[in-house]
Amino acid sequence: MGLIGLVAGCTTTQKDPEPLELNLSISVADKWAEMTLNHLKVQQLKTPIYVSRSLGYIGLTIYESVVNGSVVYQSVAPQLNGLGTLPKPEKDKLYDWETSLNAGQAYIIKQMWQHAMAIDNKRLDSLESAIYAERNKAVTDTATLGRSKRYGLSIAKAIYEWSKTDGGHLGYLTNFDAKYVFPRTNTNWTPPLNGQSSVLLPMHAHWGKNRTFTSTNSQLPVPEMIPYSDDKNSAFFKDFKEVYDIQLALTQEQKEIANWWGDDPSDTFAPPGHSYSLALQILRLKKPTLFMAAQSFAKVGMSVADAFINCWKCKYTYHSVRPTPYIRRNINGAFVQYWPEPPFPAFASGHATQASSAAEALISIYGDNVTFDDMSHVGRPKDVFRNVEYKKRSFTSISQTAIECGISRLYGGIHTAQDNIVGLAEGKKNWG
């Protein structure tokens, strides 16, 4: 069962939401999602890969901290890979689910980013305190508030303990492995001299061995890629020639797309954060129930996390070459791509894979026909070097975000069509 089916949110007997469920506010989930994104932006040592993992656990914690307040939705814990059952609320006791969510998020975010600066954690503490003060006014029974806070904390602690055994615990401390042996030939990827990272080593080379959220996702086969060839009549060469031709005639619109979806971890919340941001923006547009909002973050977080694990398994199976070194050897020795190259192999595209997975997660909840503006990077300073301003991107469907995110890497000159097409297909088919 994929993650879309896993978090379908239905009990064995379908029931309609009770009035209480409809009255629960999504405000607390909204505030914590926004805080999560702001927290990610300022963290050191972060990589797209580790960010995906953290959002998987953060999103799951949102969902599990409130799900037992619903007659429609149910816990997915027993169906996840080795998690088992989570703490249950006391029978016949009242709970304030916004308080539970608040306590769970405050704890799990700190555990995912244990090296955060004191000032960053102070912002988390301030939000937790402010929300608790609001709930204290709304719920006058201090026993209910205390019980709810303890319950949310117990959920977060149980999920965190499970997270420590997935192979990626504190992964930001081992972003690069100097002992990893990778093929050093012209036909394979080599660390770029002028790329996004100053470290000339492969990033998270072992990430594909990590535990996925669902056991079925760990069994997915590695997709096939076109065999390497320098023959000008080969499909491989034509893929790279297309990148070269695109780079020679980049339009302003294409540059804006490349910048918008670049999501450099040194400046932003990274690609998984962008997907989480899309979930938040659609939530604000659709104004669903609290439980549907929690479901949105759980699906996007876990789907993207598993997508990265499987994508990285693919990358370090083939160690496939990036466009620039191939083009310089076979087409134009002076070629320079538009966007800096990341420190890992090309095939398949991580951007395309995770964006497709996130889109499928959101489509499963809201449908595809959602018209909205992506405001994720509005307000960022202009990229003076590339003469690009960060202006909102408008879409008439959720699937368009994945398509545009994928092709942005062709415009950046760091991926071929094959990387993109396979990434989109694998994200949609395998992790949606």
What is the Cα–Cα distance from 430 to 121, expressed in whole angstroms?
36
**Is pLDDT of 1 > 80?**
no
Largest Cα separation within the chain, whole Å, is 75
| CA 255 centroid distance within chain | 23
Query: Which range marks the domain in which residue 121 is found?
Result: 9-163
**In terms of domains, do 382 and 263 share one?**
yes
Q: Is residue 108 in some structural domain?
A: yes
pLDDT tens-digit readout, 37-79: 999 999 999 999 999 999 999 999 999 999 999 999 999 999 9
**Distance of alpha carbon 174 from alpha carbon 214, whole angstroms:** 24
Q: Are residues 243 and 149 in the same domain?
A: no
Query: So what's the pLDDT on residue 24?
Result: 82
Per-residue pLDDT for 12 more than 80? no
Phi-psi domain of 99 (left: phi exceeds 0; alpha: psi -120 through 50; beta: other): alpha
pLDDT band at 14 (very low <50, low <70, confident <90, very high): very low
Count up the domains in the chain and report the number.
Answer: 2
* Confidence at residue 428, expressed as pLDDT on a 0 to 100 scale: 87
Which of 163, 187, 206 is at the close of a domain? 163
* 246, 394: one domain: yes
Mean pLDDT of 287-299: 97
Judging by beta carbons within 10 Å of its beta carbon (0-12, 13-18, 19+), is residue 177 exposed, middle or buried? middle
* Within a domain: 290: yes
CA distances from 58 to 33, 299, 302, 308, 416 (A): 9, 11, 9, 16, 33
Domain-located, residue 285:
yes
Structure confidence by residue, pLDDT tens digits, 165-211 = 999 999 999 999 999 999 999 899 999 988 899 899 999 999 999 99
Residue 371 and residue 235 share a domain: yes
Paired tokens of 113: 């980013």
> Are 242 and 362 in the same domain?
yes
- For residues 281 and 145, state if they share a domain: no
* Residue 23's pLDDT band (cuts 50, 70, 90): low
Domain annotation covers residue 200:
no
- Within this chain, do residues 37 and 158 fall inside the same structural domain, yes or no? yes
> Shortest CA distance to 268 belongs to which of 28, 5, 4, 40?
40
Domain final residue pick, 163, 185, 209: 163
Residues 246 and 156 in one domain: no
Residue 5: per-residue pLDDT: 52
- What is the average per-residue pLDDT within 18-23? 57
Helices (H), 113-214: 118-138, 142-163
Mark whether 316 and 402 lie in a shared domain. Answer: yes
Residue 10 in this model has a pLDDT that exceeds 50? no
Is the per-residue pLDDT at 262 higher than 90?
yes
Of the chain, the percentage scoring pLDDT greater than 90 comes to 90
Are residues 132 and 251 both part of a single domain?
no
Which of 9-18, 89-98, 185-194, 399-408 comes out lowest in average pLDDT?
A: 9-18
Instruction: Name the phi and psi angles at 405, rounded to 5.
Output: -60, -45
Number of other residues whose CB lies within 10 A of the CB of residue 119: 8
Structure tokens at 151: 């319950």
* Token code pair at residue 333: 């020795």
> CA 64 to CA 154: how far, in whole Å?
11
Residue 99 lies inside a defined structural domain of this protein: yes
- How far is 171 from 217, CA to CA, in rounded Å? 20
Residues 283 and 138 in one domain: no
pLDDT at 430 over 80: no
Single residue among 146, 163, 180 that ends a domain in this structure: 163
Whether 181 maps to a domain, the answer reads no
pLDDT given for residue 21 in this prediction:
57
Residue 13 is predicted with a pLDDT of: 38
Distance CA(329)–CA(187), nearest Å, equals 11
Residue 267 has pLDDT above 60, yes or no: yes
Model-level pTM?
0.95
pLDDT in tens, 354-387: 999 999 999 999 999 999 999 999 999 999 999 9
Domain assignment present for 182: no
CATH number for the domain that contains residue 405:
1.10.606.20
* Long-range contacts of the stretch 137-141 (C-beta < 8 A, 24+): 138/96, 139/96, 139/99, 141/94
Give the per-residue pLDDT at 20.
Answer: 55
First to last CA, the chain: 10
When the pLDDT of each residue in the chain is averaged and rounded to a whole number, the result is 94
**Taking 60 as the threshold, does the pLDDT of residue 351 lie above it?**
yes
- Same-domain status, 148 and 234: no
Q: Angle, to 10 degrees, between the axis of helix 417-430 and the axis of helix 399-412?
A: 150
283's enclosing H/E stretch is helix 270-286
Quick check: is 217 in a domain? no
Cα-flanking dihedrals φ and ψ of residue 188, to 5°? -120, 170
